[in-house]
Amino acid sequence: MKTIIIAALAALSAGSALAQEAVQGGPATNVPLLEGATAAPDCGGLSVTPDRAYCITAPLVNMQAVGEAYIALFQAEGWQPVAGDANYVIFARRKADGQCEGLQMLAFYDTAAPNSPTAPGYLGFGAVPTMPCADRTAAQ
């Protein structure tokens, strides 16, 4: 498996024009299935159980837009990006009890499959079990 290069900085600051219709969620994360994505229960052939991760698939040509749609959705739900790179983003948000929860999103594809715009790309989502809360400043 290789990673897909997602323009994380641009995606973090930009919204998405994709319609965001939640039709089902992954058991590990409650992540909805957005328009343009299809559930991938086998996570692209990886040995991951549904209680640990939830994966979606879309053609490689659409992965940038699908990734941006998920980032926009998470930010609208109060998740803040706290770390990341070209192929993953880690989000955190404070819960009502003052503790924090984390969510990670990883983009990847199968290098053994033919490389074409219609080849499947994947986004994997997983909960981050322990997530430290950033200290709040006096202004918050």
Evaluate whether 102 touches 133 at the Cβ level (below 8 Å): no
Q: Cα(54)–Cα(105) distance, rounded to whole angstroms?
A: 10
Tell me: the pLDDT tens digits for 109-122? Answer: 988 888 899 999 99
Tokens at residue 130, please? 């322990």
Domain ranges of the chain: 8-128
pLDDT band at residue 131 under the 50/70/90 scheme: confident
Residues ≥6 apart with Cβ < 8 Å to 26? 39, 50, 53, 54, 55, 125
Tell me: the pLDDT tens digits for 20-44? Answer: 333 344 555 678 999 999 999 888 8
| Residue pointed to by tokens 């991938």 | 40
- Report phi then psi at 18, rounded to 5: -65, 140
13 residue type, one letter: S
For the chain, the straight-line distance linking the first and the last C-alpha, in angstroms and rounded, comes to 41
Q: Cα(19)–Cα(94) distance, rounded to whole angstroms?
A: 27
- The predicted model scores a pTM of 0.74
Q: Is 60 helix (H, G, I), strand (E, B) or coil?
A: helix
Q: Cα(6)–Cα(89) distance, rounded to whole angstroms?
A: 10
Quick check: 89 pLDDT over 90? yes
Quick check: 106 pLDDT over 80? yes
> 35 versus 17: which is more confidently predicted?
35
**pLDDT value of position 26:** 53
Quick check: 11 pLDDT over 60? no
Tell me: the pLDDT tens digits for 38-69? Answer: 999 888 888 777 777 899 999 999 999 999 99
